[in-house]
Amino acid sequence: MRIKVNKLPGKKSAIILNKLKKLNLAHYGAYPFIQSKSSQGCYIKDIDNNVFLDFSSQVASTPLGYNHPMLLSKIKKYAKVHPVKLAGQDFPVKEHRLLLEELLSITPKSLDTAFLINSGAEAVENCIKVALRHQHKAKFGISFINAFHGRTLGALSCTDSKALYKKYFFSIPIQRLPFNESALDILDNIIKKEASPEEIGFIIVEPIQGEGGYNFAPQSLLKGLRKFTSQYNIPFIIDEVQSGMGRTGKWWAFQHYNIQPDIFSAAKALQVGATITSNHLRPEPGALSSTWGAGHILDMAIGLKTIQIIKKQKLLSNINQQGNYLLKQLQQLPIENPRGLGLMIAFDLETEKQRNNMVLECLRHGLVVLGCGESSIRLIPPYIIKKQEINQALEILESAIRTTSKENFQLSGLICNYMHCPSRTR
């Protein structure tokens, strides 16, 4: 496929987008195209025949791109299966066991049991449940400034993102720490002056903050947290919903820090949510459950096949190779703070307005990227990305940076009916 963009949105897409705006309770703005079934590899094709190079991977949820032949072959085997969604905790299927076995084959040996659910937020919720089951005197949990852990109420309590996400909602008690080494001194002070270790229900952290801006935890922070939680027997939760499943060039981002959590979450690239922990932290039967726990049979089968394909095609090597190349090329552009591990890469622009204009300007020229943080762009292409496709993206990025940097730059047109178009970059 090749990039080709005519009109955004196209006529067919506009009809559906306008209906969604009226009917979708959660609507807050969407990319101005409707995807077709003809997307291929790293390219999205919409129903108006526009073609985009995807550096968003559906927010890290399509690690193998679109219509991967090995995944299509797996899907065909389930064409006559009905129902495909079952109450999996009560009525198990073999896919449940197979996915658990494959998932636990890529986790540290001591993290040897998992609970499969529907989403990343549910995975985090159940991480919290596992932790609190062992902290009977807990009064509060600890998370970090700029964290994002999901939007269900427990996970949202640990989130420190837009005020809109939390306005009017209840919250479990949380103390928030800075995402740097100073957090360790604050923790020591909490133990000395404010609370006993038994009153801390858990500490939860992203090794790489996702929506918060692709902020990478300092080595000293994560290692210090692991030491602190081990010393005081406080459950240590790592959130790998976005950074896990190979995105950083290792199966789990915490492996870059040579540490292991007590409990961690996975989702997105796995196709289902998962709470992973050790058998000695397993709660009593019935403490964790879900009607759709383990989710859709097809989702489990695709999650299983995804891990197998990453192994078979040695995609961790490609992730590191292409990620290193992309990051090196970004360092030549007039941007701030290019950073990344594997294919989890970001950079900053001067203002939030320029960032928002960059997302739209890239889209107009056929490149799908995502914003994060206050003024950052994140680049998370599929694991199958090739150098040629990276070079295409770099050309568009360089042009968009140059264009949106102009003082009088202003976007207009139909696209602004669906995504926010800032009036000026400065």
Query: Same domain, yes or no, for 211 and 186?
Result: yes
In this structure, are residues 41 and 286 in contact, taking their beta carbons and an 8 Å threshold? no
Q: Is residue 407 part of a domain?
A: yes
Query: Same domain, yes or no, for 211 and 348?
Result: no
Angle at the Cα of 69 from the Cα atoms of 53 and 2, rounded to 5 degrees = 25
CA distance 301 to 97: 11
For helices 315-330 and 387-404, give the axis angle rounded to 10 degrees: 30
More confident residue, 370 or 407: 370
Query: Same domain, yes or no, for 165 and 282?
Result: yes
What three-state secondary structure class fits 133? coil
Per cent of the chain over pLDDT 70 is 99
Which amino acid is located at 406 in the chain?
Answer: K
Q: pLDDT digit string (tens) for 61-114?
A: 999 999 999 999 999 999 888 889 888 888 899 999 999 999 999 999 999 999
DSSP string, 144-199: ETT----SSHHHHHH--S-HHHHTT-----EEEE-SSTHHHHHHHHIIIII--GGG
CA distance 20 to 341: 36
- If pLDDT is split at 50, 70 and 90, which confidence band does 347 have? very high
Query: Same domain, yes or no, for 118 and 200?
Result: yes
**What is the DSSP-derived secondary structure letter of residue 418?**
T
**Cβ-Cβ contacts under 8 Å for 156 (sequence gap 6 or more):** 149, 150, 165, 166, 169, 171
Q: Is residue 233 part of a domain?
A: yes
Q: pLDDT digit string (tens) for 273-303?
A: 999 999 999 999 989 988 888 768 999 999 9
Chosen domain end from 257, 279, 312? 312
Q: Domain of 354?
A: 11-54+314-417
Q: pLDDT digit string (tens) for 187-244?
A: 999 999 999 999 999 999 999 999 999 999 999 999 999 999 999 999 999 999 999 9
Whether residue 31 is predicted with pLDDT greater than 50 in this model: the reply is yes
Query: Same domain, yes or no, for 268 and 344?
Result: no
The predicted model gives 117-143 an average pLDDT of 97
Query: Same domain, yes or no, for 23 and 108?
Result: no
Say what the pLDDT of residue 424 is.
Answer: 46
Q: pLDDT digit string (tens) for 35-48?
A: 999 999 999 999 99
In this structure, are residues 400 and 361 in contact, taking their beta carbons and an 8 Å threshold? yes
Can you give the CATH number for the domain in which 85 is found? 3.40.640.10
- If pLDDT is split at 50, 70 and 90, which confidence band does 407 have? confident
Whether residue 52 is predicted with pLDDT greater than 90 in this model: the reply is yes
Which amino acid is located at 230 in the chain?
Answer: S
- If pLDDT is split at 50, 70 and 90, which confidence band does 426 have? very low
CB-count burial class (<10 Å; 0-12, 13-18, 19+) for 75:
middle
Say what the pLDDT of residue 85 is.
Answer: 87
Query: Same domain, yes or no, for 95 and 175?
Result: yes
Whether residue 331 is predicted with pLDDT greater than 70 in this model: the reply is yes
Say what the pLDDT of residue 29 is.
Answer: 80
Which amino acid is located at 418 in the chain?
Answer: Y
Arithmetic mean of pLDDT over the chain? 95
The total number of structural domains that make up the chain: 2
Q: Is residue 6 part of a domain?
A: no
In this structure, are residues 16 and 65 in contact, taking their beta carbons and an 8 Å threshold? no
What three-state secondary structure class fits 331? coil
The predicted model gives 124-134 an average pLDDT of 97
Can you give the CATH number for the domain in which 368 is found? 3.90.1150.10
User: How far is the CA of 145 from the CAs of 37, 96, 98, 162, 269, in angstroms?
Assistant: 39, 36, 37, 11, 25
